[in-house]
Structure 1
Amino acid sequence: MDYSIEHARVKELVEKAQCTGSTPLDVVNCIKERLREAGYAPTAAQLLDANVDPAERPEQARFIRLEARREGDRNTHIFTFALLKPGGVYKPLWLQSAVVEK
């Protein structure tokens, strides 16, 4: 399966939706909806700090890491975004995606 094409579709959906919010969790929820539109079921979401450790508070988050699965696919898909805050509004910046094959 060509995961790069699937993941590019997710990237495009997130960028077109212009996922923004007043909190990092607003952005996470928007990205989760885009994953669902692309046929994925989000299974885990993490807000990570500048050291890529779990953020103690949402406002300390600098990265978002989402795990998802597709029906009939045993693999885990991982999507990582930087979390920017220009003008006081949070928005994601696509960094990378990966697949953990099982």
Structure 2
Amino acid sequence: MDYSIEHGKVKEAIEKAQCTGASPQDVANCIVEQLKAAGYTPSKVQLLDANVDPVEKPEQTRFIRIEANKPGDKNVHIFTFAVLRPGGQFKPLWLQSAVVER
């Protein structure tokens, strides 16, 4: 399967949804919903700080990392976003996606 094409479609869907929110968790929830709509089952959502460690406070979030599975596919799909805060609203910026083959 060509994961780059599949992940490209996911990226487009997330960008079209314009996931913004008052908190990083709002943004993560929006991304999770877009992944579900694309047929993924998110299994792990992490809010990470600038050192890529789990955040102590949500406002410290600089990255969102989501692991997801797809029915019939044993592989784990990982989606990573930077979190920007223009004008007081949190907004994701697609950084990368990866597949851990199992």
Q: TM-score, normalised by structure 1?
A: 0.99
Name the residue aligned to 1:66.
Answer: 66
Q: AA paired with 2:96? A: Q
- Give the number of equivalent residue pairs: 102
* CA distance, structure 2, for counterparts of residue 77 and residue 7 of structure 1: 9
Structure 2, unmatched stretches of 5+, are none
* CA distance, structure 1, for counterparts of residue 24 and residue 9 of structure 2: 22
Per-residue Cα deviation, 1:34-71 (whole angstroms, up to 9, x for no partner)? 00111100000000000111111111000000000000
Identity level (%): 71
Per-residue Cα deviation, 1:65-90 (whole angstroms, up to 9, x for no partner)? 00000001000000000000000000
RMSD of equivalent CA atoms:
0.4
* CA distance, structure 1, for counterparts of residue 49 and residue 11 of structure 2: 22
How far is 1:21 from its partner? 0.2
Q: TM-score, normalised by structure 2?
A: 0.99
How far is 1:4 from its partner? 0.4
* CA distance, structure 2, for counterparts of residue 8 and residue 37 of structure 1: 14
Structure 1, unmatched stretches of 5+, are none
